[in-house]
Amino acid sequence: EQVVVHKTFHRYVVRAKRGGVQSQHDSSGKHAKSAGANIRRSQEAMFREEIKSLIGADWKAEIDQCSCVFIRVPQYNKSVLISGQNPAPFDKDDTRLRTIPFMTFRPTFNEVKRTHNLLSRVEQYDKDFLHVLTKYETKIVESAKEKPKSKSKPKKKKSSPKTEKKSQNMDTKVELVEVEKEVERPIQDEFIQSLSGDNLKLFNEIYTCCMTNNVVKLRQLLNPLMDQENKIDAENYKLKIEKLINKRLNKQNGFTLLHLCSQLGFGECVWELLMNGCDPSIADLSHGKMLPYFVSQNKGLRDLYRRFMHDYPNRYDYGAAKISEPLSYEKMAEKMEKEKEKKKMKKQARKEREAVEKEKLSREQMEENERKLFLSLTDQEKRQLLVDRNFLNLMPVNDKEELDTITKAKYSPQKIRVISRCWYCGVDMSSSVPFEYFDYKFCTTKCLKAHRQHQQEIKNLSHKPK
C-alpha cells in the first residue's frame, strides 16, 4: 500500500477548445506553421522523451520487480510505451502488460491511487444486502426528484386593476421561461456517477469493450444466454441494460457510449448498441448539441445508421436523431458499383497521365542528348551538318541509310533531327526568330555576345607570338 515512486507532469500539446494533439493534426495532411503549433510540436517531443527516460531508465529497477503493469494510453501515444517500429520501455510481447478495465479520469496522483485501490480489492455482497442497496438507491433518486426548489415570495404592492392584469401576464411568462430552463438542465441520474455496486461494474465492462472494440464480449454482456424459465429476468435485464448504455460518461461533453463508438469509428459496436436500445437522438452537452450521427468518424459509419433505419424503421425517433434517409441494400449495391466505376476511371486516367509523362520525359531526354551532341560539334561540322541535311532531304528514302553507313560521322544528319539550334547553347529554335551575325544563329543576345567573346579569345590566342 506504500507508494514507492510517483511523478505527474503535463505539457502544452493540445490547442484549447479544439481537442487532439498536434501530431494528429499534422498526420491528417494539414501542417500548421504558426508559433503555437511549433511550440506544441516541441512540447510533445519533450513529453515523449521525458516519459521514455523516466520509465525506461529511472524507474527500470522498480518496474522489473512488478508482476503486472496496468496502463492507460491513447492510441496515438501507444508507441511511447510499447515498442513497435520505434524502441520503447515495454516490449509488445510483455505478458505483464494490462489495460485498466474501467473508466479513468484526468491522470493525477489521486486518480492513480483511486485506480490502484479499485484494482487491488474485491467487493462481495450478499443477496439481502444487494436488495437493500438497490432500494436505498431508488429512495435517494426519488427524493432528489421530488425535492422542490425554494422560491422567495414577491412583496405585494397596491396597484390598480389594469396594472394587476399586466403583472399577472408577466408572472405567467416568467414561470414559463423558468419551466423551460428546468427541463433543459440535465438530470443527475443521466450520468454514470449515479451508478454503484454491480451496475457500475457492469457499465465499466461495457465501456472497456467499447473502447477496445471487443464486439464478441460486448454482445455477451448485452445479450447473455437466459433460460426459457427466466423470461422475467431476461426482460428486467434488458431494461437495465437499456438504462445503463444511455448514461452520459462525463459532465464536460455529456457523451454517451454511442457518441464514443461513433467518434472512434467502431461500426460493429455502434450496431450492437443500437440493437440493445442506445438512443441515437440523445445529444451531447456541448454548445452545438452534437448527435451521434454527426460525431461519426467517416461516411461509412453514417451509412450504417441509415441501414439500421431501413431495417428497423420504428425502433427510434430518427427525425430527432437527424438521420437523413434510410439506405436500402439495393441503393448500397448501386452506390458501391458507382464507386467501383469511379475507381476504375481514376485508375485509367492515372495510367494515361503516366503514359503522357513518360513520353514527355523520353522526348526531353532525346532533346537533351541531341543538344549535347550539337554542342560537341565544331563550327565547321555544324555547317557541314546543314549541308548534309539539305542533301539528305533531296535524296530518295532508300539511299538515306546508305549515306549514314558511308559517312559514319558523329554529326550524321540522322542522329540530329533538329538543325535550327542556337550555336552557343544548342536550344531548339524551330518556332522562334533567331539573332544572327555572319552565318551564326542564336536564341538570345546573351548567347550571341558570349559566342563573339569566345571567338575573339580564340582569335587572340592564334595571333599571339610563340
Q: 232 is written with which cell numbers? A: 422475467
Which stretches of 185-266 are DSSP H helices? 197-212, 215-222, 231-245, 257-264
- The radius of gyration of the chain from alpha carbons, rounded to an integer in Å, stands at 40
Rounding to the nearest 10 degrees, give the CA dihedral for residues 18, 22, 27, 31.
Answer: 90
Place of cell 514507492: 4
Helix (H, G, I), strand (E, B) or coil at 165: helix
Question: How far is 260 from 312, CA to CA, in rounded Å?
Answer: 22
Q: What share of the chain is helix, strand, coil (3-state, %, to 5)?
A: 60, 5, 35
Question: How far is 80 from 87, CA to CA, in rounded Å?
Answer: 8
How many other CB atoms are there within 10 angstroms of residue 242's CB atom?
A: 14
Question: How far is 343 from 144, CA to CA, in rounded Å?
Answer: 59
Question: How far is 141 from 116, CA to CA, in rounded Å?
Answer: 29
Catalytically active residues, by annotation: 22
* Phi and psi based region of residue 12 (left: phi greater than 0; alpha: psi -120 to 50; beta: remaining): beta
